[in-house]
Amino acid sequence: MIFGDLSAYVFVDGQELPEYAAVVSSTSTENRITCWIASEEGKKFGVRWMNAAKQSCGIQTAVSVDGVRCARQTVRPSWVGIKECTYWGSDSVTRDFMFSKLELTDDDSMLGDPSSNDIGQIVLKVATGEYTKTQVVKHGISKNHTLRVQESKVHERSKKACAHRVVFGDEVPRQVNYRSGRPTSRTVFKPDNRPTTVFVFKYTRLDILQAMGIAPSTSDSSSREEANDDDDEIEIIDGPYAPSSLPLPLKDVKPRIQHLEMELQHLRTQLASSEDRKLSRVNLKCGVSRRQQTTMEVLDLTED
């Protein structure tokens, strides 16, 4: 999903997941972009986000899965680039994100449990504000501690459209990059009064999305592809190359390229199901079609 200079998506095995039924809502304090994605049980995933243009302020993002706040990233003013989050972590360990089956129950004592309200949502919140760095000295070694979250069953009437939840993989020790008694930098971020941008990815099984009419059914996609194999026509129009006339400072060229590459990847993902289509007709327009049969004229150059 894209909003202004910011974009975000969920990826599995390095590939962006297709997004369905995206909706944008805005208030004076928040811009919220919501879509659906198809989850697959047992698959690890990550959230990738990008800032495509230099900002005069710092940016801080927070990733939450099923209501569990997992990671925070802060970047300086003028930063342009891509960052990703694939795990829940502490100073000493990390645990990967993974889709898993949602366990349901008919126990009415679980009905209305507030801990289940956010199950089925991956949220990336982006705020702007003042960014500063200070030097601090850490004494002693960070204590190892585990990351635990309660993964209880959910009442069957609470999450009718939700078949999956996020679980966290095995704990992996984290490399400590500082030494006791030596100064290290600490980032301080103070949010400003500009609206936050919130990307919300609702997830469930693909067949449920298809049954809800949110994602196209496999049979419908196949039928459309077969029809397009017969009817699609690509026209290539010859003409002089006209470079873009939009004024773009040289320092913003690379960020713009990165932003366009992300949009291109997004479009390629949406069209992944039709990549193998054969194009039936290609017309080249330049006065006459190049596919028209050429008539050859033979000149007699012999002398009488």
Q: What does the pLDDT look like over 156-197, one tens digit per residue?
A: 566 666 889 899 988 888 776 655 556 677 889 999 999 999
| Tokens 């991956």, residue located | 122
Q: Are strands 154-155 and 87-89 parallel, antiparallel or unpaired?
A: unpaired
Which residue in 248, 278, 275 sits closest to 260, CA to CA? 248
**Domain limits of the chain?**
2-215, 220-285
Q: What share of the chain is helix, strand, coil (3-state, %, to 5)?
A: 15, 40, 45
| Token pair of 162 as six digits | 């939700």
Higher pLDDT, 105 or 128: 128
- Encode pLDDT of 196-224 as tens digits: 999 999 999 999 999 999 999 876 555 55
